[in-house]
């Protein structure tokens, strides 16, 4: 059964948060704020936060800057994962992935189904690894961000989570480059 092993010390990770939106600012970005509040409450560090327009090149450039920074362990994006013409976050970030984490999107949609039913098929939430950095693209609603954090990311970004977690894999993410 999943559990937290309190005999291990908590290891905070550095997380960058990107909100993808043509209309939001930091002042009214409820989804980004929800992620920042949760990651800080969990004991992690906010490394950077940005608002980026719904544009493949802009999203990709910001993600590339963060994955090139050895201080960034995780990039969380919110917004742009739907199916409309302006929703391009998966196209922007999946092209950077060296490894896809298909279970993230699958589990997110399973959790979401329990709240929004079949409407969950409209989400293209995705996750992967690029240059030793985890990237998770979440929908743009505050509720979806809370669900992804509370239901998946909080446990997987806690090195004490058993039977396993993503943090303990971090030292090995770039071993193919050696």
pLDDT digits (tens, 9 = 90+) for 11-65: 999 999 999 999 988 899 999 999 999 999 999 999 999 999 999 999 999 999 9
Count up the domains in the chain and report the number.
1
* 133 is a domain residue: yes
Tokens in use for 66?
A: 């963060």
Question: Over the stretch 108-144, which tens digit does the pLDDT of each residue have?
Answer: 999 999 999 999 999 999 999 999 999 999 999 999 9
* 148 is a domain residue: yes
Domain at 43, CATH number? 3.40.980.10
Distance of CA 77 to the CA centre of its chain: 6
Task: List Cα–Cα distances, 109 to 14, 39, 81, in angstroms.
Answer: 26, 21, 12
> Count of CB atoms within 10 A of residue 80's CB?
30
* 3 is a domain residue: no
Q: Which residue has the tokens 């446990």?
A: 155
User: Rounded to an integer, what distance in angstroms lies between the CA atom of residue 56 and that of residue 169?
Assistant: 29
User: Rounded to an integer, what distance in angstroms lies between the CA atom of residue 173 and that of residue 139?
Assistant: 25
- Concatenate the DSSP letters of all residues of 21-40 into one string: -SS--GGG-HHHHHHHHHHH
């Amino acid at each position: 059964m999943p559990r937290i092993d309190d005999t291990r010390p908590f290891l905070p990770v550095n997380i960058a948060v990107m909100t993808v939106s043509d209309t939001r600012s930091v002042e009214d970005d409820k989804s980004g704020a929800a992620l920042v509040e949760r990651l800080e409450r969990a004991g992690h560090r906010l490394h950077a936060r940005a608002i980026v327009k719904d544009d493949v090149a802009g999203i990709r450039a910001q993600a590339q800057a963060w994955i090139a920074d050895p201080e960034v362990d995780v990039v969380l994006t919110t917004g742009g994962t739907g199916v409309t013409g302006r929703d391009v976050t998966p196209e922007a970030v999946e092209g950077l992935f060296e490894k896809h984490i298909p279970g993230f999107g699958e589990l997110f949609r399973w959790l979401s189904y329990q709240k929004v039913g079949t409407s969950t098929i409209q989400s293209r939430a995705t996750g992967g690894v690029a240059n030793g950095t985890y990237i998770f693209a979440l929908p743009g609603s505050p509720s979806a961000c809370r669900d992804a954090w509370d239901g998946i990311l909080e446990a997987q970004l806690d090195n004490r989570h058993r039977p396993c977690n993503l943090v303990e894999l971090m030292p090995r993410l770039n071993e193919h480059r050696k």
